Amino acid sequence: MSLNTPENPQADQMADESMVRTLDAQARAIWPQEVQLIDRYDLPPNLRILDAGSGTGEGASRLADHFPRSRVLGVDVLEENLTRARERFAALAPRLSFEQLSVYDLQLPAQSFDLTVCRHVLHTVPHPEQAVAELVRVTRSGGYLHLLAEDYSMIHFEQHAAALDGFWQAVANKFTATSGIDMRSGRNVFGMLAAAGLDNIAVNYVIVDTVRVPRPVFAAILEAWRDGFAGPCAEVTGIALDEVVGYFENMIEQVHDPRRYVVWMVPIVSARVP
């Protein structure tokens, strides 16, 4: 039976075993650059931190490690991922805890957090601006929002560039049209924060490329995407499953090939609540 709901339309993929690998490899690739951006907010050490859409706890646990005097709450709608996160990071409880709550309706008091983080979520949910409004509501005046929002026009391959650009364009267009999510949401978050009246809006990029990130780690992201998303990509675009798997195999090959350059630019949009 499908776990998909209108507020988590990719829940089947989010609960899949491949997503555990996706989130692990993404965090290993992204966190070393991301944490340097977080340090720029110059926040006090004893923070209250929210990780909205915390998944298997990759981000929440790294935040708890990085800020050892902080309290971190991870929230997610999927019980499967909450259970994984609680089991993996039991040693950090009760300073790190996880609750089943939706990012659209957090059921938490206004202005409760100094730092509100939302990683790899906004491109998977419809009406991301409503989620952002809720994140703003729970962040205190002077606190920061840190939003990692993916954009699938920002992944570039050197070989077969036209075919692979066309593949990602078809995937982004079709998912956007059929499930109401925006797989290019990365470029739209600035506007959402500006509309919400926030200060100090910054757009930075974590560069996941074959120069900065070990090739096996980058390849592990694409392997996990292939295992979790080839089927849905074929279904939504009408491209044959074999062909979709072939595209992923080609991307993985290029990442492993020391003669090739591959880059995935990951926007991180941050702002201060006035």
Ligand X SMILES: C[S@@+](CC[C@H](N)C(=O)[O-])C[C@H]1O[C@@H](n2cnc3c(N)ncnc32)[C@H](O)[C@@H]1O
Q: How far apart are CA 193 and CA 225, in angstroms?
A: 29
- What is the closest distance, in whole angstroms, from the C-beta atom of residue 131 to ligand X in the complex? 7
Quick one: CA dihedral 236, 133, 193, 23, positive or negative? negative
Residue 14 touches ligand X, criterion: CB under 6 A? yes
Nearest distance from residue 261's CB to ligand X, in Å?
25
> What number of other Cβ atoms are within 10 A of residue 108's Cβ?
16
Q: Does 129 bind ligand X (CB under 6 A)?
A: no
Both tokens of 200, joined, read 């100090």
- The verdict on 210 binding ligand X (CB under 6 A) reads no
269 binds ligand X (CB under 6 A): no
Query: Min. distance of Cβ 159 from ligand X in angstroms?
Result: 28
- If one asks whether residue 120 binds ligand X (CB under 6 A), the answer comes out as yes
Stretch that binds ligand X, among 69-77, 151-159, 254-262, 263-271 (CB under 6 A): 69-77
> Does 124 contact ligand X by CB under 6 A?
yes
The reply to whether 121 sits near ligand X by the rule CB under 6 A is yes
Burial (CB < 10 A; 0-12, 13-18, 19+), residue 79, is: exposed
Q: Are 125 and 103 in contact (CB under 8 A)?
A: yes
| 4 vs 130: CA distance, rounded Å | 19
The residues near 42 (Cβ < 8 Å, ≥ 6 apart) are: none
Instruction: Show the binding pattern over residues 74-113: x = contacts ligand X (CB under 6 A), - = does not.
Output: -xxxx--x--------------------xxx---------
Residues near ligand X, by CB under 6 A: 7-8, 14, 23, 27, 53-55, 58-59, 75-78, 81, 102-104, 119-121, 124-125
